[in-house]
Amino acid sequence: MRGAGAEARRRAAGRAELEAWAAASPAPSAEQAALRRRYLAHLGVPGALDRDGTPDHLTASALVLDPAGERTLLVLHRRGGFWVQPGGHVEPGDAGLVAAGLRELVEETGVPASAVRAGPHPVDLHHHELSAAFGRCRSHLDVAVLAVVDPAEATTASVESDAVAWWPLERLPDGADGGPAVVADLPARLRRAAEELRQGAREGRRGPATTSVPPSALSSAPPSASAPGPPSPPLRRASAADHPSR
């Protein structure tokens, strides 16, 4: 029962973050608002945050931009062979969805939590189906937080990635040179995040407030790997259905 109670509290925290987003400025678009309602319904189901729960898995990620909103920090996923934002499943130690996305950012890029600025609520939702190769997990309900990091911060790839690198938003890797490509849905999500960052600057908002990753949220984190060698060749071109079960 204790575990069920903890899972219920995590679901309640996630619902509160999504509810707060509805009242934020700028408010979610109609499309994002519809997804938010679906996510809220998903979080009302016991086991919604467990990997062995429903076939739809809720994940958390970070859309990482530089302060100018012109570059993004991506990881080259070792299993999938594509460039993607840091992210993964929500873990039992996470205080909420935002904390989960920031934990994934710290784990997968090596950027210290103290160097990350992030808002208190999500900024982007994305639901994508998965192929039968992922077994019982048939789709990911991703919740993304906007994070701002100075590109001068040192980075280190995790054991799940072959590389971590900054890319200009206008020149994201498309695989045209035979190298790994960015996942198909990500450019549009990054553009929306960058526009929100710029809109905040135009309105005189200072941007995302400083949010630290709680130490308890990092308690289950695997140790970071040493700096990787050259990126491995891609296993295949990325597609919207090929997101890894991270």
pTM equals 0.81
- Residue 159 CB: number of other CB atoms within 10 A? 13
For residue 129, what pLDDT is reported? 67
3-class DSSP string for 100-130? HHHHHHHHHHCCCHHHCEECCCCCEEEEEEC
Structural domain boundaries, residue 7 = 2-218
Instruction: Look up residue 135 and give its two tokens.
Output: 């077994």
Q: Average pLDDT, stretch 103-108?
A: 96
Distance, CA of 196 to chain centre = 16
Q: Is residue 114 part of a domain?
A: yes
Q: Is residue 235 part of a domain?
A: no
Indicate whether 223 pLDDT > 60. no
Residues 17-34: tens digit of each pLDDT: 999 988 887 788 899 999
Q: Is residue 149 part of a domain?
A: yes
Range of weakest confidence among 5-14, 57-66, 208-217: 208-217
pLDDT band at 205 (very low <50, low <70, confident <90, very high): low
Amino acid at 165: A
- CATH for 201: 3.90.79.10
Asked if 225 contacts 158 with a C-beta cutoff of 8 angstroms, the reply is yes
Q: Is residue 230 part of a domain?
A: no
Q: Is residue 227 part of a domain?
A: no
Look up residue 174 and give its DSSP letter.
B
Q: Is residue 126 part of a domain?
A: yes
CB within 8 Å of 133: residues ≥ 6 apart: none
Please report, rounded to a whole number, the percentage of residues in the chain having pLDDT higher than 70.
Answer: 76
Q: Average pLDDT, stretch 10-16?
A: 92
Please report, rounded to a whole number, the percentage of residues in the chain having pLDDT higher than 90.
Answer: 52
Q: What's the number of domains the chain is made of? A: 1
